[in-house]
Amino acid sequence: MQNIETFDFQDKKALIRVDFNVPLNSNFEVTDATRINAAVPTIKKVLAGGGSVILMSHLGRPKGEKQDKFSLKHIVATVSEKLGVPVQFAEDCIGTAAIEAAGKIKSGEALLLENLRFYNEETEGDVVFAKKLADLGDVYINDAFGTAHRAHASTAIIASFFKDKMFGYVIENELEAAQKVVENSERPFTAIMGGAKISDKILLIEKLLDKVDNLIIGGGMSYTFFKALGGEIGASLVESDKLNLARTILELAKEKNVNLCLPTDSIIASEFSNDANISGSENTSIPSGWMGLDIGPKAIEEFSAIIKKSKTIMWNGPMGVFEMSNFENGTKSVAQAIAGATENGAYSLIGGGDSAAAINKFNYQDKVSYISTGGGALLEYLEGKELPGLKAIRD
C-alpha cells in the first residue's frame, strides 16, 4: 500500500473515488459543499505533484437509470471553483466518452466522470465494470469514506487492478479521528447517541459501554428506554420489540459503571408538525396522544453539565426533530455545549449524517475537532467491522 504523502504523481493519471453525493436545490445548485471541500486537499496534492486527476463519484440513488437530476454535470462549476482549476466533464463513466476524455487530460488537469450509479454494476460490485473504470487511470486513490462500508465496484473491487493504490486525506483523517476517540481517548469520555432507533445503534452502544464514562441517550430512541422502565410515553416513537434490549443496555451500563443518562423531560407536541400544540412533560408521564419531539430544559441542563466536564466527546444523532424550528433547541444546545467543551481543550468527533447537518445548521462547524463525512461508514468502523473499501487498499 502506497502513501499519498510520499508517492510521486508526476505524469500519472490518478483515478480518485470521491464522495460528491451533495445536496442540490431545485435549480441543481449545490447547497452544502462540505464533501467537496473535504476532497480538495487530496486532489490538489496530485495536481501539485505533476499528476492529473480523474474523479469518480455517485450522486443520489438513480438505481441504474440515467436521470438528468442525478447527473454530476450539475456540480462541475462548484468543483472547479473549490479546486481553482477548470474541471472537465465526461458524459459517461465508462465506454467511449470516458476513455476519450481520460486519454486527453494532461498533468495539472482534472476530469469528472458521470454518475457511477447510472450503472447497477457499481452497487453490485461487478468485476467487469470495475476493470473498465480501472483502465482509465495509472494509480487509484480511495478518498470516499462515506461509501467505504459498501462492497461497490469503485470502492472495493477496483483496487485489485492497481499496483499503486492508497487512501486520500479524507480517509486518513477519518481513521485518525476514530482512532483518537476509541483507542486514545482522554477521560472523562462522553458518547452522545440520538436519532430514532436503538436498533440502528445497538452494536455501537454495546461497544461504547466498554470505553466511555458517560453515555447520553436522547432523540426518539430514548422513549423505548422509558417504556421499558414502565413509563407512560404517550404517542412518542417506540420500538416495542426492543424493550428487553433497552433493559439489557441499562443493566450493562450499571455493571460497567457507565453513567447512562436519559433525558428527564421532553418538549411534547399534539402531532408531528411544527404547527402542533406544544407543551412540556416529564418523560415517564407523557399524556396520551402527545409525542416527545425534543429534549426539555431539565435534560438540556443535565446533558450540558456532563458534556462541559468531558475531555473526549463523540456525538452521533440529534436530540429531537431539529429540522423543525420548534423542536431544534435540544440539538442546538448539545452542539453549543460540545463547542464550549472543545474550546476548553476537549476532543470532539461529530459522527456524520444528521449530527453533521445539525452542527452546520447552527454554525458550530469550526468549533468542534472533527466532523465525519461518513455516517454509516463511521458507525460500522466504530463497531469494529472491517470496511470493504479500506480492506481493498490494505490487501
Residue 214, H or E segment: strand 214-217
- Report residue 279 CA to chain centroid gap: 33
Is the preceding peptide bond at 188 cis, omega within 30 degrees of 0?
yes
- Report residue 310 CA to chain centroid gap: 23
| Three-state DSSP state, 248 | helix
Rounded to whole angstroms, the Cα distance separating 361 from 273 reads 20
Label residues 139-158 b or e (16+ Cβ within 10 Å = b).
bbbbbbbbbbbbbbbbbbbb
Contacts of 391 (CB under 8 A, 6+ apart): 156
Question: Measured at the alpha carbon of residue 359, what is the angle toward residues 304 and 291, in degrees to the nearest 5?
Answer: 65
Contacts of 146 (CB under 8 A, 6+ apart): 19, 21, 35, 352, 373, 374, 375, 376, 377
Catalytic site positions: 35, 197, 353, 376
